[in-house]
Structure 1
């Protein structure tokens, strides 16, 4: 298991960390009479971090921010987002369509083909 962060906590805080997805890697017990202390060596799993980040992205998308991102990418590339769709045209190879396809594959684990819309009047 890979971790994005490792820390050490005592008895008083361990449950809070476990509730947030951290895992115990190992424990250290030290004894100085009359007390015994347990230190928990904990890690935040890489897989949990990815899960958290995907949840953040889904929240953005619920609010339409992925559409704004696509608009900004199209503008940056000098392309028109309204000319790109999921049907009606020919498969697009422009930078914005490639970005949108990469986004869908990475975030949603979906393979989407984007098409360049064509204007029938231009023929």
Structure 2
């Protein structure tokens, strides 16, 4: 059985639009009126998986506009940190709130397991024989 985020009732003139948007028919109800008219009402539900797909699509749009970086900057600022101090790949192991948030974001939104590190300073890079440009 599906889990529905939203449930609604629509008439036959509206049902196709909802079905095209990923909603599912849960049940139908037929109504008869004294004048002989009969109508069908559709009980429809928006499955949780459809809502998740829609939300991920919106998040991907935000990412394509560079807003993921803005989000990380705001999150880091809220923790009293600086987002640009962190990167995926190499650096100091850290369990800072910003790094944990960035890792969780990637796991949830992009289905990636990443490790976020505190960047090496310029002095540390020189000691290691590596240079940043």
- Which residue of 2 is the match for residue 82 of structure 1? 84
Q: Deviations over 1:8-53 (max 9, x none)?
A: 1111111111111111001111233532211111111111111111
TM-score (norm 2): 0.85
Note if 1:5 corresponds to 2:6.
yes
- Which residue of 1 is the match for residue 26 of structure 2? 25
Map 1:54-65 onto structure 2 (within 5 A): 54-65=56-67
Deviation at 1:80, TM superposition (A): 2.1
Structure 2 counterpart SS, 1:111:
coil
Q: Quote the Cα distance in structure 2 between the aligned partners of 1:57 and 1:43.
A: 23
TM-score (norm 1): 0.91
Q: Quote the Cα distance in structure 1 between the aligned partners of 2:38 and 2:62.
A: 47
Q: Quote the Cα distance in structure 2 between the aligned partners of 1:120 and 1:15.
A: 60
- Which residue of 2 is the match for residue 45 of structure 1? 47
* Equivalent pairs, count: 123
Q: Quote the Cα distance in structure 2 between the aligned partners of 1:80 and 1:9.
A: 50
Structure 1 counterpart SS, 2:38:
strand
Runs (4+) of structure 1 moved beyond 6 Å? none
Note if 1:73 corresponds to 2:75.
yes
- Which residue of 1 is the match for residue 131 of structure 2? none
Which of 93, 96, 104 is the aligned partner of 1:94? 96
Q: Quote the Cα distance in structure 2 between the aligned partners of 1:120 and 1:56.
A: 37
Q: Quote the Cα distance in structure 1 between the aligned partners of 2:72 and 2:41.
A: 47
Deviation at 1:120, TM superposition (A): 5.5
Q: Quote the Cα distance in structure 2 between the aligned partners of 1:46 and 1:15.
A: 19
